[in-house]
Chains A and B, each alone.
Chain A
Amino acid sequence: MSVSVVSVEKRFGDVVALAGVTLEAREGELLVVVGPSGCGKSTLLRCVAGLETVDAGTVRIRGRDVTGIRPAARNVSMVFQSYALFPHLTVGANVGFGLVVRETPKEEVRRRVAAAVELIGIGHLVDRRPYQLSGGERQRVALARALVREPDAYLLDEPLSNLDAGTRVEMRTELRRLHREVGATMIHVTHDQVEALTLADRVAVMHAGAVRQVGTPDEVYGRPADRTVAAFLGTPRMNFLTVGDARPFCAVPDGAEAGVRPEHVRLDGEVPARVDLVEVAGGDAYVHLSGGLVARVAADVRPVEGEDVGLGIRREDVHLFDLETGRRVEP
């Protein structure tokens, strides 16, 4: 067990940010916490770091209860969304700041800073200041600063959200590589589901201050625990069908609704429908159909708007959710 929170609650006035969250990032695991804005994921990370006090519950790092202790004594490193680089210091001084503050011998500071910047690939930037760097370079400096202390866990608060699309993809790969090399426990918070699914060993989906599901990317995407998780993950989002709407495709029990991923809606089936709108997104096309269904097909085989098609959905691709609770119903 590396980092865990048990029944953690946090309120800001009348607003409940965390409603009894229990979650564990295992030793050496890259756990990605994903959820819409305002769901409490950053608050959770700040509670683990000690930057926020918890109203109830416990925070444990390597089995040690750290709930009441100051941030620095928790031995975690955090990468902030804004990078939080010290603007008046050089890259080298930024990376070595924590070591200098802890009065580490100068020679050791020099050695460890050199090792960290080399690992991240910013050795050539050590004498520059943050305002002279690009977004991606700043991100790397923030990572190097987190690495240099060799903490028990890394907490990454939306570290890629300020980057342009190209750099984000590049840094995602870089983060994955870094995690493999360092082998440390990392908790990464993001609102970007693609980032979560591509980066994580396990994903925790949060909504309204609660963890709705924890599992591997395949599990949370392929077997969502409830309607909220199912709707949040996937682009375009999952189609939801009432008992009546689903009848041509499969039988849905009373009190439940069916969910079908757009990529599982086939256009070579029997059920007639008309194409309302086609959106092309690179290699994929999102086909909006009469009746409200959306299908995702390869862009080179997409139908044209106004065309009549036949829909098909395989029974094994249908997810069932309880209408009242939203929980998954096993067929």
Chain B
Amino acid sequence: MADSVWIPSAVALTASPSRHSGVVRITHWLTTLCFLALLLTGVEILLSHPRFYWGEAGSVNTAPLFKLPLPSSRATVPTGYGYVLHDQNGWSRYLHFQAAWAAVLTGLFYVISGVLSGHFRRNLLRDGPYDTLQRLTYLGVIFGLFPLVIWTGLAMSPAIASAFPFAVSVLGGQQSARTIHFFVSVLLVLFLVVHVVMVYVHGFRSRMRGMITGEQI
């Protein structure tokens, strides 16, 4: 009869993770806001030079690794388009770094509280509310793609490169860092698309309610 004592607590443990905690809900939406700001401004910054290189240096005078079939906001970039977009780099860079700080601080708060509260242990490190593929994806995004996009972003900073040269050279150089930053961003956008599709597939209203109010899904 030991089972009858044990089962209720097990039910309580497995039932609670499907309810999103306040920290998860708040950091989820803050991250969403930051990510959209970073994506929009990232594209604006990219449009001033939609060409990618490998190594330390590269310009319109060098052969690119690849170029994107996009118009540019600079007349100096040969794109094949007969027009030049408006320069949006000033505010885009301001907002990109502001949103990056907000995302980093939000992420730190999420990770620290996730460790302390057992959120990772309960929900992501073992079979709980999510299946193996979901758990690997979430862990990969949280502990793989996000740190990598921050690292490659910082590696483009000339001041950070002066203080931590190894953080740049290990990536292959500052242009390599920019190229990796782009690919990691593409992976994050892919994750976002799949994530939103999954929310639709599993019931948009109930999933949104779950992430907004914390109600049981």
A and B part of one assembly: no
